[in-house]
A and B are shown apart, each in its own frame.
Chain A
Amino acid sequence: MTDILARRTLEEPAAEQAIEDLHVLLEQLWLDAAFVPAPDQMAFTTAVIEAASNVVQHGVPTEGATLLLGVELTVAVERLRAVISEIGAAPLDPVPDLAGPSDLPGPDDDALLEDYDESGRGLSMIRALVTTVTVEREGDTNVWVLSRDSGQG
């Protein structure tokens, strides 16, 4: 079992305020885990905010439920891990393709500008910024797990 050196959690309604609170939570995490190299902190923070924003923007609550965003961030010596839960959510339809190669970067500059797809880009960024990303259905919750190896930790 890997020793957890720093941990932060959050659970609140999946709304804009949750994203602002998550930024603060990540800042607190890095104060506790200052040994994590800055590029790893930056990449992990970006991926976590992308995934959480995806929940707030696109999560669909099940009938009568309030959609909640749950986040658990843990830091081990060489591993950063985020469990992002979409609580009270309808199943993802379609389930995002997380296995394929990242479609970054794009074609020529004009097409790059015209074809910019914000939500698709967010998912591509997550895949590029972490070592593994998975999403699973557990009860009434869609659970995203992001993991990034932190090589020089």
Chain B
Amino acid sequence: MEFTVQDKGHYTEVAANGRLNMVAAPKLRKVVDEVVNGGGKRIVVNLADTSFMDSSGLGALIGCLKLARQSGGDLRIAAVQPQVTMVLELTSMNRVLTPHATAGEAFGND
């Protein structure tokens, strides 16, 4: 899995390309940790090109959300594909990680 970080002005986008499984999960934590340590407060994880996520990947997203909130920021997810939607709904984690249609809409007018 590859991660691309882009400063979009009022938020930082982390695009995740590939499968968010036990192999990729630690990498996502590291990438988001670097964004937070670099002062990033609003983070959007763009999942448009994430074809698969398991409980390890979900655990990484949850860990990143906690990290962002502990630093006074927030993390949101966007462009979620069907398998990832299934995992979010199955675990009820869509209640704390609400999918947004696009990365640009994730923080809207906040």
Query: Closest approach, in angstroms, between the C-beta of A70 and any C-beta of chain B?
Result: 18
Q: What range describes how many residues of B lie at the interface?
A: 20 to 34
Which of B8-16, B32-40, B50-58 participates in binding chain A?
A: B50-58
Question: A-side interface residues toward B, CB under 8 Å?
Answer: 16, 19-20, 23, 38-39, 42-43, 45-46, 49-50, 53, 56-57, 104-106, 109, 112-113, 116, 118-119, 121-122, 124-125, 128-129
* B69-110 with Cβ < 8 A to chain A: 82-83, 86-87, 90-93, 95-96
Q: Which residues of A contact B65 (CB under 8 A)?
A: 113
Task: Say what secondary structure dominates the interface of chain A.
Answer: helix
A46 touches B96 (CB 8 A): no
Residue B31, interface by CB 8 Å: no
Which 3 residue pairs across A and B have the least CB separation, nearest first? A105-B92, A118-B59, A122-B55
B residues bordering A, Cβ < 8 Å?
19, 21-23, 52, 54-56, 58-59, 62, 65-66, 82-83, 86-87, 90-93, 95-96
A125 neighbours in B (Cβ, 8 Å): 54-55, 87, 90-91
If the complex has contacts A49-B54, A118-B55, are A106 and B21 also in contact, measured as CB distance less than 8 A?
no
Supposing A42-B82, A50-B55, A121-B59 touch, asked if A19 and B23 sit within 8 A by C-beta, the answer is yes
**8 Å CB contact of A113 from B83, B90, B96:** B96
List of B residues within 8 angstroms of A46 by Cβ = 52, 54, 83, 86-87
B92 touches A53 (CB 8 A): no
Q: Closest Cβ of chain B: how far from A127's Cβ, in Å? A: 10
Among residues of B, the one whose C-beta sits closest to the C-beta of A107 is B92
Q: How many A-B residue pairs have CB under 8 A?
A: 75
* Distance from A17 Cβ to chain B, minimum over Cβ atoms (Å): 9
Q: Return B83 CB to nearest CB of chain A, in Å.
A: 5
Q: CA separation between A82 and B19, bound complex, in Å?
A: 21
Indicate if the CB atoms of A121 and B55 lie closer than 8 Å.
Answer: yes
Task: Provide the bound-state CA to CA distance between A80 and B19, in Å.
Answer: 22
Q: Are B62 and A116 in contact (CB under 8 A)?
A: yes
Q: A46-B86, A109-B95, A125-B87 are in contact. Are A23 and B66 (CB under 8 A)?
A: no
Q: B54 and A122: CB pair below 8 A?
A: yes
Taking a contact as CB atoms under 8 Å apart, the answer to whether B86 and A42 are in contact is yes
Report A-chain residues with C-beta under 8 Å of the C-beta of B62: 113, 116
